Amino acid sequence: MAPSKFNSSGEGNFSSPMAENGFLNSTSLLNSEKAVQELLQRSPLMETDDHLVEFSEALRTVAKALRKAAEGKAAAQAEAAEWKRKFELERTRNLQLEYKGQSPTERNGYDNKRSRNLPPQATEQSEWCCGLNGICSHEVLQDGDIDSVSQNASRKYTRKASFKLSWCCNGDHSDRHKHDVVSFEKGNITTAERSSRQISLKWESQPQTVLILTKPNSISVRMICFEMVRWLREYKDLQIYVEPRVKNELLTESDYYNFVQTWKSDEEIMVLHTKVDLVVTLGGDGTVLWAASMFKGPVPPLVPFSLGSLGFMTPFHSEHYRECLDSLLKGPISITLRHRLQCHVIRDAARNEYETEEPILVLNEVTIDRGISSYLTNLECYCDRSFVTCVQGDGLILSTTSGSTAYSLAAGGSMVHPQVPGILFTPICPHSLSFRPLIFPEYVTIRIQVPFNSRGHAWASFDGKDRKQLAAGDALVCSMAPWPVPTACQVDSTNDFLRSIHDGLHWNLRKTQSFDGPRDA
């Protein structure tokens, strides 16, 4: 769209040359937005120019819609390229199966045909994809071995058909962790063991390094930390990492603690997961959140000891740390995989959805609220490009199941077992009484956008910190992160979860009904 030209009477002459593909390019879209800004600067708006204000807002909306259409076209082209790649891989597989059933003489002609028909690097891509992720999408719905199928061809209408299904594999790193969640064998769809049983971790080699993270400004935590460091060094002969603050406290106490290691830069923290076998936290749930935020990728197994005011994620008692750590270092360990949300802020000025700010990982929740504004928040919500609703109220909470007993519960959300892979969608004081909380499956992507007609800005906070302002046109995109936080269980996931809500929330605690009251006849 070329810049709009306005005459002295305020009437506009619009020219909108279209590209060959029928969509406006990004340059023309930016020009249209600049034209609106020039109009507003050259023609100061008076109180009587309401129609001109509405017109400029409408033009902004149109430019935004055209930009989204151009992005949609790019996404469609990428999807078409992906389908073409899958077709080539399927054709490669069919040619390989055909090659199996041929005689040696026929194979010579087949090899020539194969060299002409196969796309470059097709075999290499197939081996790379399958080698890392197991069964891939191009192997879906294959009915076993070709020879066995041909032998049973006469019975193909009388026997139950066998098939194989798998998670979509397109080479994307974010999809790899979704393999092997559901098993499909011989026509019977069953749930895999890992989604229905307690997860156990068994050491293949003895742990050598432990990272200890502590709650600050607590004398009792400091004393336990001193004792634990000495015990792990003298009786378990382990390498010990602590925070720089804690190392200074240890050296102030005694020069004996010179063996303790720490880090000096953020770059060293980024590779800490490659050095540490086990993480021990001394504090409450806040210390667990701090430990999880340190690891932007894989997280070592975490052993949380309760020394704080909240203990939903800290099942171990600090006074018994010797017995607990002795058992955990030997293994096996029952663990709870606590899923995290990966959040991206996309500004309105971004040219596409890949121009985002640094991703933020949250273990409890991300909250979008109205901040200090007196106006209701106005948020447009989408789930995998499907419109969900428009939130008008104090805000919205996107929570993990581990965070279901935190802010989401206070806002009316459900308590959910931490190993249930889902995303909680909980409104904060909505303006509609029919607006009830939702729970989405873990594989969806949720997009929260501040519309251009919003009266004020919104604010996003991540696990109660890293607060960011969201202006009109900005969006927050959340999906499940591929790296959960494995926390050790005292008994198992279910027992620890139920005990935490009984002890921490006094859930369903009431006086027992008297036995000498009225009874049925």
| 285 labelled catalytic | yes
For residue 337, the Cα-to-chain-centroid distance in whole angstroms is 13
Residue the block writes with tokens 């002295």: 8
Catalytic residue among 285, 369, 474, 496: 285
Q: What contacts 259, CB < 8 A, 6 or more positions away? A: 233, 240
* Coil, helix or strand at residue 353: coil
What is the total residue count of the chain? 521
CA 232 vs CA 223, 260, 306, 338: distances in Å: 14, 11, 19, 27
Q: Which residues contact 35 (CB under 8 A, 6 or more apart)?
A: 3, 4, 59
CB atoms within 10 A of CB 349: 10
| Among 434, 414, 433, CA closest to 425 | 414
The amino acid sitting at 212 is I
- Report how far residue 446's alpha carbon sits from residue 382's, in angstroms, rounded to the nearest whole number: 6
Query: 179: burial class by Cβ within 10 Å (0-12, 13-18, 19+)?
Result: middle
Which residue(s) pair with 383 in the sheet?
A: 386, 446
Q: Coil, strand, or helix at residue 191?
A: strand
Pairwise CA distance, residues 194 & 26, whole Å: 46
453-488: burial string, b at 16+ Cβ within 10 Å, e else: ebebbbbbbbbeeeebebebbbbbbbbbbbbbbbbb
Tokens of 226: 């001193």
DSSP-assigned letter for residue 371: T
- Closest by CA to 337, choosing from 235, 471, 226, 201, is 201
3-state secondary structure of 168: coil
Mind telling me the catalytic residues?
Answer: 285
